[in-house]
A and B are shown apart, each in its own frame.
Chain A
Amino acid sequence: MLKLHNMYKIYRTDEVETVALNGVNLEIEQGDFVAIMGPSGCGKSTLLNIVGMLDNPSEGEYFFFDEDVAPYSEAQRSKIRKQNIGFIFQSFNLIDELNVAENIELALLYHDMPASERKQRVAKVMDRMGIAHRAKHMPGQLSGGQQQRVAVARAVVGDQPLILADEPTGNLDSVHGQEVMELLRSLNKEGTTIVMVTHSPAHADYAHRTVNLFDGHVVTENTRAA
């Protein structure tokens, strides 16, 4: 599905040069569930941002469905992104002024889709996530676990084949964290590819494969039987 080849990301200020990614090679197949682990500052989030096309690499190639997207402009990347990738963040990033249904609908708003179909899909995904009764609530009225369910719903409502999750359980207690992981697992079983950054070895165990990063290198890769 996607392939990173010899990828570098270097942040430069006037005095300091920080190498966030130092020649990363990584390949992810369709249907994979990959956990990325490593200590703070090892480049996990940078890697995820580049995979999610939110950021450009400094050097290297990034094949997404055999297309090298590394040199693409933000507008081009934006187009691929909205067709193919859903995002889940540690801090949920729900919009405070929109209610639950509207927050989820947001993911469809920038696709060419009639309002009626949008409503249908939002209703369906809310049912599935068990948040239908919260449709009219504002994010501030929900618990952290409920907010993250909304965020997950928003990530999957567009039926994108790839979901990127940046510490999706980082702000949740263990019970709610586990709930979210179960959700991701079921999604994966239905065929969605998932790439997840996490600090928790227990949650990494949900993945088929764990990639350990250290100082911008891939150190080890462990594969588990599904």
Chain B
Amino acid sequence: MISGGAETSEDARFDRLIYERVRLGMMSALAVRAELTFSELKALFNVSDGNLSAHARKLETAGYVTCTKSFEGRRPRSVYRITAVGRAALNRYLDHVEAVIRATRR
């Protein structure tokens, strides 16, 4: 950590959730799109159904994204949206990364 201060429990939970590459990508993609379907996310990050489901569930459980399930004809359709909490978490992560760069280049 740049500050050298004690990590709060929220920071630690946040690191585990967003630090992972696919989850970070999902959060970044959802930050610029109002919503993305499961298929769109899968195509974006080239991951398997099971892998994406697991990552999406973790973000959903943390309250960072919401998932709305519906049917398009007979096909199930899952639509993901970033929440205000998720957006704030992504911003905190970006601040953290930028702080690392600033500190090491000082």
A and B: partners? Answer: no
